[in-house]
Amino acid sequence: MCLLAIQYRVVTESPILVAANREEFFDRRSTAPTIQSGKPRILCPTDQRNGGTWLGVNQHGVFIGICNRRTLEPLGSNRSRGLLCKEALKSTSSHQALERALEEFDKHQVEACNLIVADRDAGFVVHHETDNEVIEMQSGLNIIGGRNLNDPRDERVQLASRLLTLQTLDSPVKFLAVASKVFARAPSPAGRANMVLRGADYGTVSSTLIALGAKPRDAIYQYADGPADEARYEDYSPLLRDILSRGLRETRTKVSMAEAE
């Protein structure tokens, strides 16, 4: 199902702080984060089956994440959720990403999902089933899995919330340090909520930590290719800083050209 926490607009220097675990069938392979070709530049891991992604950041500082959504019956689809996520990452702002995603939902049949869209100015969550419910993200800790945002019925969401609020996470370093332990919490006895899921053929296959701020040099992107209780977080921050710096330079160039006209 996946589980994603975003501490939004709490820490001034890093308004977007993310921790996420991906759950998938073990035989569905993916590649580690890379900078995608084309514009805008996007940093994301890639699902090898359909070429989409479940989480990424583009050069404009737009963050997109997606979680499967629980339904009684499949909706049927002709469009991968991961490709929708990648399409939204082509946007220059969270507002544009939201519009693009809603257009994709209108044009294609897409299985139920929860789409998270955020930049430093605005954040949104789309609960997609047969209809779309759009929720504006509030400042603070926002957690989502297979149900609604901050759903009190979701035991994993509530467990993550408790563990991430045991202390004040008032810096990106503190948030990522605590989140790295929370999202690496090993499976507990059957019947209890877990951060890491481990089944016979399905479970947690990767984990991601992200910090986005006003300055590209402060951005952080760490990725564990496997459950974080077994796999080490590797640092992809230089790639993220590169695309954010590129985006900042392009924006400044456009502003200078506009002022010169």
202-212, strands of its sheet edge to edge = 140-144, 3-11, 14-25, 202-212, 220-224, 233-235
pLDDT at 233: 98
Mean pLDDT per 10-residue interval, the chain, length 261 residues: 94 96 96 96 96 97 96 83 97 98 95 97 96 97 97 95 96 97 87 87 97 94 97 98 95 76 69
The answer to whether the beta carbons of residues 235 and 50 sit under 8 Å apart is no
Q: What is the per-residue pLDDT for 125?
A: 98
pLDDT at 253: 82
**How confident is the model at residue 238, as a pLDDT?**
98
pLDDT of residue 74: 76
Which CATH code of 3.20.20.80, 1.10.3720.10, 3.60.60.10, 1.10.287.3510 fits the domain covering 3-260? 3.60.60.10
Q: What is the pTM of this model?
A: 0.95
Predicted confidence at residue 191, as pLDDT, reads 66
Domain residue limits, the chain: 3-260
